[in-house]
A and B are shown apart, each in its own frame.
Chain A
Amino acid sequence: MHEVVTIADPESAADELAEFDGAINSPYRALPVIEFRDVHLAFDDKVILDGISFHVRRGETKIILGRSGGGKSTIIRLILGLLKPDSGSILIDGEDITALSEEEMMTVRRKIGMVFQEGALFDSLSVYENVAYRLRELNVAEEEIEREVRRMLRFVDLEDAIDKMPNELSGGMRRRVGIARALVGDPEIVLYDEPTAGLDPPTARTICELAIKLRDLQDVSSIFVTHEMNNVEYLSSEYATVNEKGEVIFEAEGERLCLINTEVLMLRDGKIIFSGSDEKLRASTDPYIRNFVFGK
């Protein structure tokens, strides 16, 4: 015999159902952190983005691949609100930012850490002041600033350089300071704009490891713009975990485990021509993608 349930109030039943659904598939997880809906942007006659739609889930890293000048960095500038799209909408944590004023954008930007191409450190400020910049703007107490700055510089392994000026640092160190500066205030989103461009392979690897650590250990959502395939390789095939001694170690995905928190998006002439896992990217038969991935 089946028990018959009569629904007295359909609305409250729907609520209950939604609650149940939410328990399995938490809305916190389900809501994309970043979402682009049919975004168009052109400078004069040059179309930069031509109907871009994608989303980044919480804790996910989206690698954006493409040739230089193909609109990759533009996507990041749009998320930060440094540029406004011609049409379409951009949602951060479900909030449409396209209509926000510069003042309102400041609140949204607090959730975002940004790693610039060459580091973009302030030349006239020391490493300490660079990393402390954001907290100073928020009038945080000096002791707390120092604690936070040291914590971030330890994370990028540069605590010794705290009193140096940016021009005394190597390219790789500048990027790492740039990362430390971006991470102050524990942003839930971190955007990387070609963070490894022009670096030697071991240093580039270190930068990727930092990004992996943030993704796997701190649940940071990010967009990683690059044109270097070894970055894709590291980010989409390795994960960070903590061993019995409490040290952070990096392991490669294997037979039993496949990383699903990193996806690749490929741009060409302002359009998305590929979206999916790195395995799918490598298996693609599209001549343009094969040329990009394998260099021939």
Chain B
Amino acid sequence: MDLIGVGSTPIVLLTGFFTGGVLVLQTFPTLEYYGVQSESGRSVATSLIRELGPVLSALMVSGRIGSAIAAELGSMVVSQQIDAMRAFGTNPVRKLVLPRLIALISMLPLLTVAADIFGLIGGAIVASGIYNQEISVFVNSARNGIEFEDILGGIIKPLFFGLVIGSVACHKGLSTSGGTVGVGKSTTDSVVISSIWVIIFDFFLSKALQYLLGIGRF
């Protein structure tokens, strides 16, 4: 839990911060063209909290933690540690998979929230530093742009993403075969497959949340 949560914090925060920054950098001129540059906070906040925060955090965690889990379990299979565990009367799923799933599911929403906050800070810095917008204007528009449902949706998504990343990584790791080469393959497969599933899942989750919580409908 420490490794997954605390260990991933720096990369997730950096990702959030620069994503928020670049969003403002790219959208501000367009908003200015339509004369609604005062709404830049709203545009960053909604895209970050609804989509980019959860998805990017999940992708980073899949790269950092999903790969580590698959590699660790894969090495355990290859060095017969899983066999040893079963031979000594332990169920590897209960002993190895369950704690990892719980850690991922509980840590990913926290990391996502942290990424969202840093994204907003990054956006605010770019808006005021590069486009000379008052910080208070940015903050107010962000605050008006997001509702409780957005935040709730932004926390529900990473719960599922954590489950997806954890299950794919554990499954790939435990089904490793073919020695050290097999471990490499499982690790790659785990990252690729969980990333794709996160993106596909995100679409359907967004649709479901739109329907259930009324997010994004006026």
Whether A106 pairs with B80 at a CB distance below 8 angstroms is no
> Using Cβ atoms and an 8 Å threshold, which residues of chain A touch B156?
none
Q: Which of B75, B85, B88 has the most chain A CB atoms closer than 10 A to its own CB? A: B88
Q: Which of A102, A114, A116, A133 contacts B91 (CB 8 A)?
A: A102
| Residue B136, interface by CB 8 Å | no
Whether B89 pairs with A80 at a CB distance below 8 angstroms is no
Whether A77 pairs with B83 at a CB distance below 8 angstroms is yes
Q: Mark A201-238, 1 if CB is under 8 A from B, else 0.
A: 00000000000000000000000000000000000000
Whether B80 pairs with A117 at a CB distance below 8 angstroms is yes
B70 CB, nearest partner CB in chain A, Å:
16
A103 and chain B: residue at smallest CB distance: B91
Whether A116 pairs with B89 at a CB distance below 8 angstroms is no
| Residue B1, interface by CB 8 Å | no
> Using Cβ atoms and an 8 Å threshold, which residues of chain B touch A82?
83, 86-87
Q: Classify chain B: how many residues form its interface, as a range.
A: 10 to 19
> Using Cβ atoms and an 8 Å threshold, which residues of chain B touch A109?
86-89
Interface SS, A side:
loop
Sample (27) of A-B pairs whose CB atoms are under 8 Å apart: A77-B83, A80-B83, A80-B87, A82-B83, A82-B86, A82-B87, A106-B89, A109-B86, A109-B87, A109-B88, A109-B89, A112-B87, A114-B84, A114-B87, A116-B80, A116-B83, A116-B84, A120-B79, A120-B80, A120-B84, A121-B81, A122-B84, A123-B75, A123-B76, A123-B81, A137-B88, A138-B89
* A77, B79: Cα distance in complex, Å: 14
* A116, B80: Cα distance in complex, Å: 7
A125 and chain B: residue at smallest CB distance: B81
| Residue B27, interface by CB 8 Å | no
Interface SS, B side:
helix
> Using Cβ atoms and an 8 Å threshold, which residues of chain A touch B89?
106, 109-110, 134, 137-138
| Residue A188, interface by CB 8 Å | no
Chain A stretch 106-153: residues in CB contact (< 8 A) with chain B: 106, 109-110, 112, 114, 116-118, 120-123, 133-134, 137-138
List the 7 closest pairs (A to B, CB-CB), nearest first.
A120-B80, A120-B84, A106-B89, A114-B87, A116-B80, A134-B88, A80-B87
| Contacts A77-B83, A102-B91, A117-B80 known; 4 new A-B pairs at CB < 8 A | A82-B86, A112-B87, A122-B84, A123-B76
* A133, B95: Cα distance in complex, Å: 12
Q: Which of A77, A117, A123, A133 contacts B88 (CB 8 A)?
A: A133
> Using Cβ atoms and an 8 Å threshold, which residues of chain A touch B76?
123
* A134, B87: Cα distance in complex, Å: 10
A130 CB, nearest partner CB in chain B, Å:
9
Q: Which of B80, B90, B91 contacts A118 (CB 8 A)?
A: B80
> Using Cβ atoms and an 8 Å threshold, which residues of chain A touch B83?
77, 80, 82, 116, 120
* A133, B89: Cα distance in complex, Å: 10
> Using Cβ atoms and an 8 Å threshold, which residues of chain B touch A137?
88-90
Chain B stretch 131-168: residues in CB contact (< 8 A) with chain A: none
* A121, B91: Cα distance in complex, Å: 17
Known A-B contacts A102-B91, A109-B87, A137-B88; A122 and B81 likewise in contact (beta carbons under 8 Å): yes
Q: Mark B49-87, 1 if CB is under 8 A from A, else 0.
A: 000000000000000000000000001100111011111
A114 and chain B: residue at smallest CB distance: B87
Q: Mark A61-98, 1 if CB is under 8 A from B, else 0.
A: 00000000000000001001010000000000000000
B59 CB, nearest partner CB in chain A, Å:
27
> Using Cβ atoms and an 8 Å threshold, which residues of chain A touch B79?
118, 120, 123
A97 CB, nearest partner CB in chain B, Å:
13
Whether B88 pairs with A120 at a CB distance below 8 angstroms is no
* A114, B81: Cα distance in complex, Å: 12
